[in-house]
C-alpha cells in the first residue's frame, strides 16, 4: 500500500522518539558532526547502504566533518511519511558506531 503523509500530530509523536531530528519545509532532517571528513563520508556510505536496503533515499550532504540528512517521500509529492521515520530510526541505530559528536 502506498505510504500516507503523516499528520502534524503523528509527526510530533515520531519526533519525540527521534532526538536531534526536526521537520522543516516537509523534510525530516538531522545533522551529525563527526571527528573529521573521512568519518563523515564513512557514515554517508553506511547511510547509503541502509537506503538501498529500504529502497528509500534521503538527500545527503557532507561539509567537511558534518553530514546533513534531509528526507521526505517523493511518491506522495514530497511529504513526510512513515518511510522517512523508518529511515531516520535506522540511521540513529548506526550513527553511534561512527563516533558522532552531536
Contact 27, 76 (CB under 8 A): no
Please, is 82 exposed, middle or buried when counting C-beta atoms within 10 Å of its C-beta (0-12, 13-18, 19+)? middle
Q: Output the smallest distance, CB 48 to ligand H2B, in A.
A: 12
If the CB atoms of residues 30 and 56 are measured against ligand H2B, the closer one turns out to be 56
Q: How far apart are CA 3 and CA 58, in angstroms?
A: 16
Q: Does 30 engage in binding with ligand H2B (CB under 6 A)?
A: no
Q: Does 37 engage in binding with ligand H2B (CB under 6 A)?
A: no
Q: How far apart are CA 33 and CA 66, in angstroms?
A: 5
Q: Does 57 engage in binding with ligand H2B (CB under 6 A)?
A: yes
If the CB atoms of residues 55 and 102 are measured against ligand H2B, the closer one turns out to be 55
3-state secondary structure of 101: coil
Residue of the chain from 14, 47, 67, 71 that contacts ligand H2B (CB under 6 A): 71
Q: Output the smallest distance, CB 50 to ligand H2B, in A.
A: 12
Contact 42, 49 (CB under 8 A): no
Which residues lie near ligand H2B (CB under 6 A)?
55-57, 71, 73-75
Amino acid at each position: 500500500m502506498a505510504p500516507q503523509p503523516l499528520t502534524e500530530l503523528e509527526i510530533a509523536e515520531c519526533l519525540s522518539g527521534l532526538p536531534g531530528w526536526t521537520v522543516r519545509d516537509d523534510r525530516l532532517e538531522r545533522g551529525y558532526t563527526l571527528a573529521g571528513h573521512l568519518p563523515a563520508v564513512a557514515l554517508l556510505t553506511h547511510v547509503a547502504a541502509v537506503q538501498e536496503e529500504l529502497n528509500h533515499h534521503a538527500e545527503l550532504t557532507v561539509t567537511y566533518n558534518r553530514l546533513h540528512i534531509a528526507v521526505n517521500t517523493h511518491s506522495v509529492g514530497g511529504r513526510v511519511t512513515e518511510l522517512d521515520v523508518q529511515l531516520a530510526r535506522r540511521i540513529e541505530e548506526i550513527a553511534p558506531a561512527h563516533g558522532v559528536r552531536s
